[in-house]
Amino acid sequence: MPPSRHADLESIKKYLDEKHQGDNHPVYKLALTSEALMANPRWNKGMGFTAEERETFDLVGKLPVKVNTLDEQCARAWDQYKTRKDNLARNTFLQSLKAQNWVLYYSLLGRNLKDVLPVVYTPTAEAISNYSHLFRRSEGLFLSFPNRERMEKDFISATQGRNIDLIVVSDSEAILGIGDQGVGGIGISTAKSVIYTLVGGVDPSMALPIVLDVGTNNKQLLDDPMYVGWQHERIRGQEYDDFVDKFVQLVRKHLPHCLIHFEDFGVTNARRILDRYRPQHACFNDDIQGTGAVTLAALMSAVGVTKSKLTDQRILVYGAGTAGLGIAIQLRDAMIQADNCPREEANSKIYLIDKEGLITKDFGQDGRIRQGQEEFARPDHEWEEEKKASLKSGQISLLDVVKKVKPTVLIGTSTHAGGFTEEIVKEMSSHVDRPIIFPLSNPTRLVEVDPSKANEWSKGKALLATGSPFPPAKMPNGKDYVIAECNNALIYPGIGYGAIITESKTVSDSMIIAGAQALAGLSPALTDPDAALLPDFQDAPTVNYEVAVAVAEHAIDEGFANVKWGKAEVREKLKQKIWRPVYGTYQFHADGEK
């Protein structure tokens, strides 16, 4: 029997591990034989082909005589992986493995999830910035501006005859930590697709990574004779909008139920593209909504520990770019939905600070307020004294705001290393019993405060979550405090899969909030106030299943779903559709899969 919504992780895992009849022994009819079969990563088993299959598919003599189990193949591949000395070499090894054998690749990753995450989920900067120099074979679809007139032809060629549930697309302008990488951003699209399969259960044959090659403003790439993308400055304005629109309309025309996942679009484009297409199609921006959703889940967990409500919080977001603004909007929307808080009142509980200080209404007079920030801009008259006393031309500093507002929540998305100083943490802690401090900037060298320092300066009172993995901090009683990692991969695959399974017309705010509530409900801190605010990443597959259930149920409730079954069947439908990296039994058929 499916577990209840409030079941613990172990109960959910047990349910998911219960084998459906035939699940672990699927039978496939294939038309491929010999070298063509071994060259196809979807069907290749390598040393895993049985003796009977080797005879049937003309593989005898083309492989050594021994037959290996998948366990044996994983052990060999893991030994090979460990000989690689750095993340770039490991990334290259895994890419090669994926190009040979999908089942082995995903089985290896699933068995070593936490170890391989930094190599797969966030490909090394070297791997992406050196994409053109490391290029061996293409993966995914490259839609280039010079070829815009034939975009539909190229799109159909890549999708015809395939059941595509998911497209992950990037224009590569704002790749985390390394910025504009032009066509190399295909590495981000493929990595995100991998995570959808690894922890979300999406069949890899039904996912398509895409890069929109609209040029690059990276001078190093523009001057590099080895660069494989379009060597031209980025197009802007109407030309850019028309190109993106042509792509989206092709998806709507040919794949009407396919989820579009936008990734690493620039700050001037990310939100407006999302806002433009959300009413038309199921789409999702991980940098905006994924970051906001996982932060909301961590905050809901922290609020549960303090036995308060979201609307009781005074929230300070340090860093008002794409991620920071996305978090602010997500938290505001959750207050409206979960606590029935009026929109204006919810806005008033959130303070945004960017590089020019606290965002106030007068920022709008000279165009310093970007779309979406205006609702959070503070009235000027509230801050006249601080502006007069400011040493930086009227800028209101983070410390000024902490002293006056006495925030209960401090969130960092600024990439200002050390921005949460000892004085700031101590000032905040002096007014709050359990200060909630989330230094989320990536990579670790840019984090606002090392969580062990925040723990020390708050005398062990702080409830902490970070954007990168950190070791546990020591509590005053000597106990380890596990630092929760606000890793988007704990939630975005589940949000996406919930929309996919229901063929939802959109990904609504309430669907995302439902996913965040499901994630928060699995928090270890709810049973032990000194435990981590979020589940461990090793549990990501189970966690994302539960997120997907909540999202799918809300899609049905809101009337966005395009399926004929109801909420009572959601858990079983999701379980049945989860792709698992297991070898099936192959039978030859002239009209079979190719």
**pLDDT, tens digit (0-9, with 9 covering 90-100), for 435-455:** 999 999 988 888 999 999 999
pLDDT at 3 over 70: no
**CA-closest candidate to residue 56, choices 590, 594, 588:** 588
22 membership: H or E segment, kind and range: none
β-pairing verdict for 166-170 and 141-144:
unpaired
Residue 221 has pLDDT above 70, yes or no: yes
Strand pairing class (473-474; 480-481): antiparallel
Q: What is the DSSP letter of 315?
A: E
The dihedral formed by the CA atoms of 420, 425, 428 and 433, expressed in degrees to the nearest 10: 130
Q: Which of 53-62, 100-109, 204-213, 382-391 has the lowest mean pLDDT?
A: 382-391
Q: What confidence category does residue 183 fall into, taking pLDDT thresholds of 50, 70 and 90?
A: very high
Average pLDDT rounded to a whole number, residues 52-57: 97
Indicate the SS3 state at residue 36: helix
Cβ distance 518 to 546 under 8 Å?
yes
Which band of pLDDT confidence, cut at 50, 70 and 90, is reported for residue 1? low
What is the distance between the alpha carbons of residues 183 and 173, in angstroms, rounded to a whole number? 10
List the beta bridge partners of residue 473: 481
Catalytic residue among 192, 349, 387, 505: 192
SS3 of 512, please?
helix
Query: Worst-scoring range by mean pLDDT, 392-401, 558-567, 584-593?
Result: 392-401
Q: What does the pLDDT look like over 290-342, one tens digit per residue?
A: 999 999 999 999 999 999 999 999 999 999 988 899 999 999 999 999 899 99
- Given a cut of 80, whether residue 5 has pLDDT beyond it is no
pLDDT for 502? 97
Residue 115 structure tokens: 């170890």
DSSP 413-456: -S--TT-S-HHHHHHHHTT-SS-EEEE--SSGGG-SS-HHHHHH
Residue 472 has pLDDT above 60, yes or no: yes
Tell whether the model's pLDDT for residue 122 goes beyond 80.
no
Residue 166, classed as helix, strand or coil, is strand
Q: Which residues does 431 contact at the CB level (< 8 Å), separation at least 6?
A: 406
pLDDT at 22: 46
Q: Is the pLDDT of residue 395 over 70?
A: yes
C-alpha 311, offset from chain centre? 27
Confidence of residue 128 (pLDDT cuts 50, 70, 90): confident
Res 390 pLDDT > 90: no
Q: Catalytic site residue 121?
A: yes
The residue that leads in pLDDT, 151 or 479, is 151
Q: Strand 141-144 relative to strand 207-213: parallel, antiparallel, unpaired?
A: parallel
Chain centre to alpha carbon of residue 360: 31
Strand partners, 144: 213
Mean pLDDT of the chain: 92
Q: Which of 391, 409, 402, 539 is nearest to 465 (CA)?
A: 409
pLDDT at 19: 56
What does the pLDDT average to over 207-224? Answer: 97
Is-contact 230 179, C-beta < 8 A? no
Indicate whether 21 pLDDT > 60.
Answer: no
Q: Is 192 a catalytic residue?
A: yes
In this model, does residue 393 exceed pLDDT 50? yes
- Using DSSP's 3-state secondary structure scheme, residue 577 falls into helix
Q: What share of the chain in percent tops pLDDT 70?
A: 96
Partners of 490 in beta bridges: none
Please check the confidence at residue 227 and state whether its pLDDT lies above 60.
yes
Burial of 252 (0-12, 13-18, 19+ CB in 10 A): middle
Given the residues 81, 121, 196, 545, select the one marked as catalytic.
Answer: 121
According to DSSP, residue 46 is labeled G
**pTM of the entire predicted model:** 0.92
What does the pLDDT look like over 402-420, one tens digit per residue?
999 999 999 999 999 999 9
pLDDT at residue 471, as a whole number: 93
Interval 153-168 mean pLDDT: 96
Q: Note the pLDDT of residue 322.
A: 84
